[in-house]
Amino acid sequence: MSPPTTRASGQLETRDMLLNVGPAHPAMHGIIRIVATLDGEIVTGADVEIGYLHRGFEKMSETVDYNGVIPYTDRLNYVSPLINNMGYCMAVEKLLGISVPERCHYIRVIVSEISRITDHLTCVGASAMELGAFSVFLYLIKAREYLWELIEMVTGARLTVSYCRVGGVKGDLPAAFAEPCRKALEETRRVLAEADALLTRNRIFVDRMSGTGKISSEDAISYGITGPFLRATGVDYDVRKDCPYSVYDRLQFDVPVGTRGDNYDRYLVRMEEMEQSIRIVEQALKDIPPGPFQTNPTTGHPIPAAEMVDQAKVGNISTIADATAVTDPTLEGSARPLHANIAADEKRVFLPAKEDTYGNIEGLMQHFKLVMHGHGVRPPKGEVYFPVEGANGELGFYIVSDGSNTPYRVRVRPPCFAIMSALPKLVIGDMMADLTPTFGSVNMIGGELDR
């Protein structure tokens, strides 16, 4: 190693070190590349390179029809897929000028808030794990599993759900949904209390997270940052409160706001937001307008279809003679009365119930005109922008339609894109080791950042 040269003034000439925190890195959950210029341990410059998960969402959505974009939206912010689904569907519905029934709004709100909870659980869990709190990660993922089982009960899938449709949702909530939901939320509350006890006043956690990754609210606004990141700096902006959509204006919830804008405040904001989301779901479960009764109006006897078959096999016809078979209400089209509650009453947008498709000519034509190649949901020519509150901030969909059955342009305004563009500002001045908690609290989701 060459000896340091000395200048006339007596100062040592040093050189800054370039450290490549490369795309594949254990402490970065997500693939980005940060080329950090270090002066000893202090970060003096950071060049962030993204795009390693660019999957061409916007180009692909020009090749499929309006409902076909929904699986692609699942994979944008893949820890809270239902919020993306809902945002996209509401944007297309705004373009069409239709609105969905009230029960459908409540269903969408319930599943969106459950998705928001899973997103925050993953974020807090992963950032705790990177700081060494592995047990907290395991506890929070356990809570996430309960919520995923709940989502699976409603939508059929754990992660990539494709639940919302243009003009409604795929199927109604299962008949016995409220009880498992309450239990899962109880469990989540318990897990959150445990995580709180382990982390919030933990000396190591507090020391590592406080004072690192600070950003002022003026800078945050200039970068376009929204969501929990912005609220931790003290600005009270939540799309659900300020530009309310769906039924959020009828639900009571608080929006936690921090003060200092550092990593610790972001952690606290997220923990409190999870509690508020649980509160929203409980209210929505209470206020949700009831679904239609699935009973035989004369005898009032509903029997599950499987049980009916079993009774018939052993010859107990008398017990099932007056009853109505109850099939799973989430199977699309197997219950025509349910459609009134989950779908907008607009024939050119939502598929008819199966009894109608096979039963009468209008249903058949409606089905044909929605499914056949070249036909389908065809909004009028126009452009709309619709923002929803994603887990990371304002998730906006800008859709341009040319009147055909495929979208002309779908642009998703990714909330964590703005946050990541501010990453150099967040890490410069802090030490190298502070990069880990800062990056963890950014909650960078590659699917949303790079699309």
Partner 1 sequence: MTEAGFLTSRLDEAIGWARKYSIFQYPFVTACCGMEYMATACSHYDVDRFGAGLPRFSPRQADVLFVVGTISHKMAPVLKRIYDQMAEPKWVVSFGVCTCTGGFYDNYATVMGIDTIMPVDIYIPGCPPRPEYVLDGLLKLQAKIQAQHASGQRPAPELRPPEVEGHVSTERRLRPERGDGVERRKQ
Partner 2 sequence: MTAASLIQAVTERFPEALKGSHTYRGDATVLVFREFLLDIARTLKEDPVFQMNYLMDLTAVDFSAFGRKPSPAFFASSGVAVRPSSEIPDEDPWPGPPTPHSTRSRFVVVYHFFSLRLKHRLRLEVAVEEGDAEVDSLSALWAGADWLEREVWDMFGIRFRGHPNLKRILMYEEFVGHPLRKDYAVNKRQPLIGPVN
Smallest gap from Cβ 50 to partner 1, in A, equals: 10
Binding site for partner 2 (CB under 8 A): 50-51, 54, 56, 58-60, 62-63, 94-99, 219, 221-226, 235, 237, 242-243, 346, 348-349, 369, 372-375, 377-385, 387, 394, 396, 398, 400, 402-404, 406, 408-409, 411, 413, 417-418, 420-422, 425, 450-451
Smallest gap from Cβ 129 to partner 1, in A, equals: 10
Strand duo 324-326 + 382-389: pairing: unpaired
Q: Which helix (H) or strand (E) holds 88?
A: helix 81-96
Smallest gap from Cβ 87 to partner 2, in A, equals: 13
Could you say which residues in the range 282-301 bind partner 1, by CB under 8 A?
A: none
Q: Contact at 8 Å (CB) between 395 and 389?
A: yes
If the CB atoms of residues 437 and 447 are measured against partner 1, the closer one turns out to be 447
Site string for partner 1, 134-153 (x = CB under 8 A): ---xx--xx-xx--x-----
If the CB atoms of residues 161 and 384 are measured against partner 1, the closer one turns out to be 161
DSSP sequence for 92-158 = HHHHHT----HHHHHHHHHHHHHHHHHHHHHHHHHHHHHTT-HHHHHHHHHHHHHHHHHHHHHHS-S
Q: Contact at 8 Å (CB) between 88 and 76?
A: no
Residue 288 near which of partner 2, partner 1, none (CB within 5-8 Å, type-dependent): none
Q: Contact at 8 Å (CB) between 399 and 410?
A: yes
Could you give the CA distance from residue 396 to residue 178 in angstroms, rounded to a whole number? 31
Backbone phi and psi for residue 304, each to the nearest 5 degrees, phi listed first: -60, 145
Residue 418 near which of partner 2, partner 1, none (CB within 5-8 Å, type-dependent): partner 2
Residue 234 near which of partner 1, partner 2, none (CB within 5-8 Å, type-dependent): none
Smallest gap from Cβ 75 to partner 2, in A, equals: 16
Binding segment for partner 1 (CB under 8 A), chosen from 23-31, 307-315, 353-361, 432-440, is: 23-31
Query: Does residue 71 belong to the site contacting partner 1 (CB under 8 A)?
Result: yes
| Residues 6 or more apart whose Cβ sits within 8 Å of residue 29 | 126, 130, 440, 444
Could you give the CA distance from residue 451 to residue 448 in angstroms, rounded to a whole number? 5
The structure tokens 């639900």 sit at 251
Q: What is the DSSP letter of 334?
A: S
Q: Which residues bind partner 1 (CB under 8 A)?
A: 22-26, 29, 31, 51-56, 59-60, 71-72, 74-75, 78-79, 122, 137-138, 141-142, 144-145, 148, 158-160, 446-447, 450
